[in-house]
């Protein structure tokens, strides 16, 4: 295996993981862009999506695989998007006029609740959850998409799973860009992000637009959880924290509030993780990623694509 | 209104607990340590308005420094007082080292940097197993005698120190910065310097909590003991009690830690005694609902009582402005 082949392999792994991170990062960046809230519960929302995906797979039993995939990609985003919207409606909406710390602390509380739901969900007496024994243990996600190499090379693996990641995520990102740039609802979203008061004066229902943002961000996290589960085949109730941190790092790296920035940041973090695993050491990868985060924030707090923020009087 | 402030009442009651209810004395020790940690965070988040999500890292640094300085497998082998003093100094320097490059960042970004710092410290402690012994932790450490009185004494000193700091020139500068950084700097306060002092003093207190924790455990503990959860528990204590209120933080420590160790444990034991917990059913064990209750408490708190249980007068007035007098 030549050095180039090793690098190419890491590139594929890094980009596939990076696309998943990017999907989660989009949810962070959209919510931050519109109400300046670091949505701490987003990673755990992603985790709950994976648990729903596993439940669906368990309930579907022996249905044909393409049908199961379709169901997963329809129901999971609907669930996570709806849940995210509901949380905004019940918790954050009441805190809009409050201090900036209040919604953040509320989000930490929501993240705790999600974490707890994940733990209890793992104890559901279903076959796929190990009949409810050892609720906290990692769960095996069935291999629905094959691991077979699509390339003829023996040293570089590009599997059907990698293909799935790109087939699902790239059109989704294009659709999101179109939605935000071209539709009326997307325009309203950008207006609210720029200036809430002015948007309200123009007749935009600000609360509804914020709700939509939570819905779409959560839906993207739901797609990410399906793709992640199919790609990695293991899920556990504490995985939301790690995934959320990576995604948040990605969002900050790309410039928080910027959609292309989140995707770019996600790819960078995916590649950085893969290269660190290969060339440094797996156990130092987290330190490496967080060092990137700290360095970016210290030297270029607006990220790669973010706009400069000036403290207002 | 009574003249006796809650924090003095707390310390007085804590001083008679060992004589009245020795069983509770054991449970009180972690509460004292967490109160010191939360008071360290309170300097940052409560007084100065800087959100820090990585205080556990400073606690971990403190615990490991203390362990390395006292354990007999290392050449230092200082006594309790020497090691604790050195640990506080290291904590001060660690706070300064993190604060110097990052203190310019605005609110949320600084919070994320502290969070990232917490993860870096925790993973580094785990990975540098030549020095830190990895997940085993450094042990055994010599255990000081009269640990209950030692912890209570430290807590009393920290409370006194924080109270005096709060009312000193620097404390008033912190609060001014929390209220309006721009206005404060117009009044001649140097925001960077003032925030940096808060950062290092807070870090030093958290390191002290770490040193006390290690001496209480008789071990540095494992790196996982100083993870994000601990930082969040400290934040919960400050928020539930009342940001910027020393009495509030003590009450918060009592409520949050007490819920964790006393209420949940008693309930679990009660249910076990009546055979209501099925070992193969996660839903029946109260411990499995802990985070749910914790999260709900935070959300409801933010919704209905954002100033905390025992708020400082200032915060209370700010969040519930008095009705203007009728004309």
CA nearest B243 in A: which residue? A101
Q: Residue B112: which of A103, A287, A297 has the nearest Cβ? A: A297
Per residue in A157-186, pLDDT tens?
888 888 899 999 999 999 999 999 999 999
At residue A39, does pLDDT exceed 70? yes
DSSP 8-state secondary structure symbol assigned to residue A135: T
8 Å CB contact of B107 and A135: no
Distance from CA of A24 to the nearest CA of B (A): 17
Instruction: Give me the mean pLDDT over the B290-312 stretch.
Output: 86
Confidence tier at B174 by pLDDT (50, 70, 90)? very high
Contact indicator for B41, B160 with CB cutoff of 8 Å: no
With a threshold of 0.90, does the pTM exceed it?
A: no
Residues A86-115 have a mean pLDDT of: 89
Subunit contact A293:B116, Cβ cutoff 8 A = yes
Q: What is the pLDDT of residues B42-64, one digit of tens each?
A: 999 999 988 888 899 999 999 99
Residues in A closer than 8 angstroms to B126, CB to CB, are 283
Chain Cα centroid distance, residue B119: 17
Mean pLDDT of B175-201: 91
Nearest neighbour of B302 by CB, restricted to A105, A120, A311: A105
Of B105, B123, B280, the CB nearest to A132: B280
Question: What ipTM is given for this predicted complex?
Answer: 0.87
Q: Which helix (H) or strand (E) holds A39?
A: none
User: What distance lies between CA B250 and its chain's CA centroid?
Assistant: 10
Give the pLDDT of residue A308. 57
- Mean pLDDT computed over A255-271: 90
Grade residue B265 by pLDDT with cuts at 50, 70 and 90: confident
Instruction: Count each helix (H run) and each strand (E run) in chain A, helices first.
Output: 11, 2
List all residues 6 or more positions away from A110 whose beta carbon is below 8 Å from its beta carbon: A40, A41, A44, A87, A91, B295, B299
CB pairs under 8 A between A and B: 132
Does residue B326 carry a pLDDT above 80?
A: no
What residue ranges in chain A does DSSP mark as E strands?
139-140, 234-235
Report in angstroms the alpha-carbon separations of A109 from A102, A185, B242.
11, 30, 17
**Strand, helix or coil for residue B49:** coil
pLDDT value of residue B322: 64
Is pLDDT at A79 greater than 50 in this prediction? Answer: yes
Contact A280, A288 (CB under 8 A): yes
Burial of A12 (0-12, 13-18, 19+ CB in 10 A): middle
Does A104 sit within 8 Å of B282, measured CB to CB? no
Mean pLDDT of A243-254: 89
Question: What is residue B327's three-state secondary structure?
Answer: coil
Residue A312, pLDDT score: 41
Arithmetic mean of pLDDT, A82-97:
92
Q: Which residue of A has its CA nearest to B282?
A: A123
A62, A291, A120, A243: which is closest to B119 by C-alpha? A291
Coil, strand or helix at A106: helix
Both tokens of residue A91?
A: 């918790």
- Render the burial of B236-274: b for 16+ CB within 10 Å, e for the rest: bbbbbbbbbbbbbbbbbbbbbbbebeeebeeeeeeeeee
Per 3-state DSSP, what percentage of chain A is helix, strand, and coil (rounded to 5)? Answer: 75, 0, 25
Q: For B13-39, give one letter per residue: b (16+ CB within 10 A) or e.
A: ebeebeeeeeeeeeebbbbbbbbbbbb
DSSP tag of B34: H
pLDDT at A307: 66
A189-205: average pLDDT? 92
- Is the pLDDT at A131 greater than 80, yes or no? no
Inter-chain touch B280–A133, beta carbons under 8 Å: yes
Nearest CA among B301, B310, B307, B205 for reference residue B247: B310
- Quick check: B51 and B115 in contact, CB under 8 A? no
Residues B213 and B33: beta-carbon distance below 8 Å: yes
The residue count of chain A comes to 313
Average the pLDDT over A11-20 and give the result: 93
Chain B residues with a Cβ under 8 Å from any Cβ in chain A: 51, 101-102, 105-109, 111-113, 115-117, 119-120, 123-124, 126-127, 182, 228, 232, 235, 239, 280-283, 288-292, 294-299, 301-303, 306, 319
């Amino acid at each position: 295996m030549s050095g180039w082949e090793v690098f190419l392999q890491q590139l594929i792994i890094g980009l596939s993981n990076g696309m998943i991170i990017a999907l989660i990062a989009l949810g962070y960046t959209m919510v931050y862009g519109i109400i300046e809230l670091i949505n701490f519960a987003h990673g755990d929302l992603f985790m709950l999506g994976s648990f729903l995906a596993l439940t669906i797979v368990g309930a579907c039993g022996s249905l044909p695989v393409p049908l199961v995939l379709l169901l997963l990609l329809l129901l999971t985003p609907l669930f996570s998007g709806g849940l995210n919207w509901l949380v905004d409606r019940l918790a954050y909406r009441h805190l809009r006029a409050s201090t900036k710390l209040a919604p953040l602390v509320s989000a930490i509380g929501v993240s705790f609740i999600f974490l707890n739901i994940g733990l209890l969900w793992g104890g559901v007496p279903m076959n796929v959850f190990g009949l409810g024994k050892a609720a906290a243990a990692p769960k095996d996600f069935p291999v629905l998409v094959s691991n077979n190499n699509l390339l003829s090379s023996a040293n570089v693996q590009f599997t059907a799973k990698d293909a799935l990641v790109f087939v699902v995520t790239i059109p989704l990102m294009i659709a999101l860009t179109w939605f935000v740039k071209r539709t009326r609802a997307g325009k309203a979203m950008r207006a609210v992000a720029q200036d809430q008061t002015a948007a309200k004066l123009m007749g935009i229902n600000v609360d509804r637009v914020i709700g939509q943002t939570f819905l779409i961000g959560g839906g993207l996290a739901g797609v990410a959880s399906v793709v992640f589960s199919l790609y990695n085949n293991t899920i556990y109730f504490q995985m939301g924290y790690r995934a959320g941190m990576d995604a948040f790092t990605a969002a900050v790296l790309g410039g928080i509030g910027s959609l292309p920035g989140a995707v770019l940041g996600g790819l960078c973090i995916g590649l950085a993780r893969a290269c660190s695993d290969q060339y440094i050491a797996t156990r130092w990868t987290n330190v490496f990623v967080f060092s990137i985060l700290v360095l970016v924030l210290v030297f270029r707090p607006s990220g790669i694509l973010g706009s400069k923020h000036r403290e207002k009087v | 209104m009574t003249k006796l402030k809650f924090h003095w009442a707390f310390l007085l009651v804590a001083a008679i607990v060992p004589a009245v209810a020795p069983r509770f004395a054991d449970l009180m020790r972690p509460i004292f340590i967490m109160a010191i940690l939360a008071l360290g965070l309170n300097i940052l988040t409560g007084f100065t308005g800087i959100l820090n999500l990585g205080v556990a890292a400073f606690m971990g640094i403190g615990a490991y420094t203390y362990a390395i300085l006292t354990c007999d497998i290392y050449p230092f082998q200082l006594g309790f007082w020497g090691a604790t003093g050195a640990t506080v100094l290291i904590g001060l320097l660690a706070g300064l080292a993190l604060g110097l490059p990052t203190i310019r960042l605005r609110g949320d970004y600084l919070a994320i940097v502290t969070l990232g710092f917490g993860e870096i410290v925790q993973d580094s402690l785990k990975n540098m197993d030549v020095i830190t012994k990895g997940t085993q932790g450094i042990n055994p450490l010599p255990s000081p005698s009269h640990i209950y009185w030692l912890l209570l004494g430290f807590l009393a000193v920290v409370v006194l120190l924080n109270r005096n700091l709060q009312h000193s020139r620097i404390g008033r500068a912190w609060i001014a910065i929390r209220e309006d950084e721009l206005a404060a700097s117009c009044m001649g306060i140097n925001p960077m310097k003032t925030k940096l002092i808060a950062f290092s003093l807070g870090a030093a207190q958290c390191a002290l909590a770490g040193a006390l924790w290690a001496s209480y455990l008789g071990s540095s503990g494992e790196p996982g003991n100083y993870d994000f959860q601990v930082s969040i528990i400290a934040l919960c204590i400050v928020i539930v009690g009342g940001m910027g209120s020393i009495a509030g933080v003590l009450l918060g420590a009592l409520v949050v830690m007490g819920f964790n160790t006393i209420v949940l444990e008693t309930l679990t034991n009660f249910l076990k005694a009546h055979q209501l917990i099925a070992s193969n059913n996660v839903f029946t064990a109260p411990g499995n609902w802990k985070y749910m209750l914790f999260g709900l408490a935070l959300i409801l708190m933010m919704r209905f009582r954002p100033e905390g249980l025992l708020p400082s007068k200032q915060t209370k007035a700010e969040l519930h402005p008095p009705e203007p007098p009728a004309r």
